[in-house]
Every structure is written in C-alpha cells, then in structure tokens.
Amino acid sequence: MKIVWRLERATVRDVYEALRERRDVAYTTVMTMMKILEEKKYLKKTRAERAYEYWPAKPHQQVVGAMVRDFLDRVFDGAAAPLLVHLAKDAKLTKADKEAIRRMTEEIEE
C-alpha cells in the first residue's frame, strides 16, 4: 500500500520493481497481495493498455485504521491491551516512546 500511495497509481510491475530494490520477492506474490487488497476494498483497479493500474480506494488513515482493527481481531481477539503491552515491552521502544504512550493512556482515561 505504501508504494501505491507514494506513486498514486501503479501496476503490479511498478510495485514489484519498487519492492525488489529492498528485498527479493516473487512477481506472483505481489500480484496476489494486490488482488487481496482490492478484494478488501483498499485498492481499485482499471485496465490500462495491457496491465491493470491500481490506486488507493480510501485515504491513508482510513486504510491504516481498518488494517489495525483487522490485525487486532485476528491476533488479539479484538483486544487492544495485549498489543499495547507487547509494544511497551518491545526493546525498540525508547523511554520517550513509552512515556508518550503513558501520557496518551492517561488522557484517554480523563
């Protein structure tokens, strides 16, 4: 999705080439993922010459929110607290990150 948002419109080949700059990935894997994103209504597509051209169906924040909710449902049975605990214990979070999370949690409780 990040690549499609950045390019605004992209073919499977465009996304595949952009991903290959960072890691090895199969063309068919990219094609399958883009099909799934279209089925979930995150992408729209139209025929452009010999390939389909994809573009975001919804704004970035709306898609991220839906993906996070889907992740919570699948991995944490819809509960956000276990995810937050996992993130808080993650060594990659800085002290400042943890403090920001604590402040946000307190603001929600007020």
Q: Print the domain residue range for 37.
A: 2-56
Mean pLDDT confidence for 55-84: 90
**In whole angstroms, what is the distance from residue 56 CA to residue 27 CA?**
20
Q: Are 86 and 71 members of one domain? A: yes
Q: Are 16 and 43 members of one domain? A: yes
Q: Are 29 and 73 members of one domain? A: no
Helix, strand, or coil (residue 52): strand
**In whole angstroms, what is the distance from residue 4 CA to residue 46 CA?**
14
CA 98 vs CA 65, 89, 107: distances in Å: 21, 9, 14
CB 34 within 8 Å of CB 15: yes
Mean pLDDT confidence for 41-50: 90
pLDDT at 106: 85
Percent of the chain with pLDDT over 70: 97
Count of structural domains within the chain: 2
- Residue at a domain's end among 12, 30, 56: 56
With a cut of 90, say whether residue 30 has pLDDT above it: yes
Q: List, for residues 88-102, the tens digit of each pLDDT value.
A: 777 778 889 888 888
What confidence tier does 110 reach under pLDDT thresholds 50, 70, 90?
low
Say what the pTM is: 0.70
- Residue at a domain's end among 37, 56, 75: 56
Q: Any residues with CB less than 8 A from the CB of 13 and at least 6 apart, and which?
A: 27, 51
